Amino acid sequence: MPRSETVTHVMAPPERVFDISLDVDVHAASMAGSSEEPVGGVTAGALKMGDTVTWRARHFGIRWRMTSMISAYDRPEYFVDEQVSGPFKYWRHAHYFESDGRGGTTVGDIIELAAPLGPLGRIAEMFSLRRCMSDLIRARNDYIKQVAENRSRG
């Protein structure tokens, strides 16, 4: 099963970065390039333990929906979102937030996924899904970083 890990440093405290990371509006803005938008469950504001959100997006030229649930939550250290229904056979995204001791936060993202379609899905995992997921998380985290650091200055 492919696993993707990304680390991002943000010059803002963990509480702020954690809260921004759970904001549906911020997530939608960070994924504007794929027209990702919330269409069910919590569609605005902050997610919390047990909440679900259904996203509609276009990736790889295909329109799809995915419902995920916040399945673990310990503010401001970590939260996990997992696919309840959607395009993957399995999807789990763990988010970790650790103070750097200098007023900033080290953000760790670990994504574990399995594509559907048996052998064809495994080929997709090997050749594109891992890289694509890493690129999406980097873009999302760059946006979160910008929002969190701008709020720190404001």
Angstrom distance (rounded) from CA 103 to CA 91: 32
**Beta-bridge partner residues of 67:** 54, 85
Regions of the chain where pLDDT drops below 70: 1, 60, 117-131, 152-154
Q: What pLDDT is stored for residue 58 in this prediction?
A: 81
Q: What pLDDT is stored for residue 68 in this prediction?
A: 97
Nearest to 8 by CA among 153, 150, 144: 144
Angstrom distance (rounded) from CA 141 to CA 30: 8
Nearest to 45 by CA among 68, 28, 66, 64: 28
CATH of the domain at 70: 3.30.530.20
What residue numbers bound the domain in which 100 lies?
Answer: 3-153
Secondary structure element (H or E) that encloses residue 137, with its range: helix 130-153
Question: Both tokens of residue 96?
Answer: 């970790």
- pTM for the full model? 0.90
119 burial class (0-12, 13-18, 19+ CB within 10 angstroms)? exposed
Q: What pLDDT is stored for residue 104 in this prediction?
A: 97
Q: What pLDDT is stored for residue 10 in this prediction?
A: 98
Angstrom distance (rounded) from CA 146 to CA 142: 6
3-class DSSP assignment, residue 31:
coil
Residue type, 23: D
**How many domains does the chain contain in total?**
1
Q: What pLDDT is stored for residue 153 in this prediction?
A: 65
Q: Where are the beta strands (DSSP E) in 86-122?
A: 90-99, 105-114
DSSP summary character for residue 1? -
